[in-house]
Amino acid sequence: MSQKEKYQLEFVIKTSTKVLYNMLSTPSGLSEWFADDVNLRDDTFTFIWDGAEEEARKLSAKSGESIKFQWIEDEEEGLKTYFELKIVVDDITKDVALIVTDFAEEDELEEAQLLWENQVAELMHVLGC
């Protein structure tokens, strides 16, 4: 297995931090833009796409600021990877940005970034921004 490399993407989202955090951290919010359905048991989120399930453990969360997950499959393989959704507000303009941090294998990096761009575009569509 090849090493996964870390990357970050930034998106300006015209909404409140409270609304955005709800969309990033709750099963109902995530199921509106990230997956077809999302279930939560303890700190494990089950994401469902086209009938296929992927599980991720919530590693940390700061209300209104960020949430960090690790795919169970990566955890079982001993990888120190995660994906984090972080909300940053510009002090001067008050613009709200979503910073996505994730990991992908080098040959899948472009595809992984495109997937996030599409997912966040869906998030912005759901939010009406």
What SS3 class is residue 13?
Answer: coil
Give the CA-trace dihedral at 116, 122, 127, 129, to 10 degrees.
80
pLDDT at 2: 60
**CATH class for the domain made up of 4-127:** alpha beta
Q: What is the pLDDT along the chain (129 residues), one digit of tens a residue?
A: 568 999 999 999 999 999 999 999 999 999 999 999 999 999 999 999 999 999 999 999 999 999 999 999 999 999 999 999 999 999 999 999 999 999 999 999 999 999 999 999 999 999 998
Which residues, 6 or more positions from 89, have their beta carbon under 8 angstroms from its beta carbon? 17, 95, 96, 97
CA distances from 28 to 9, 21, 47, 96 (A): 24, 12, 11, 21
* Spatial CA neighbour of 113 closest among 5, 12, 2: 5
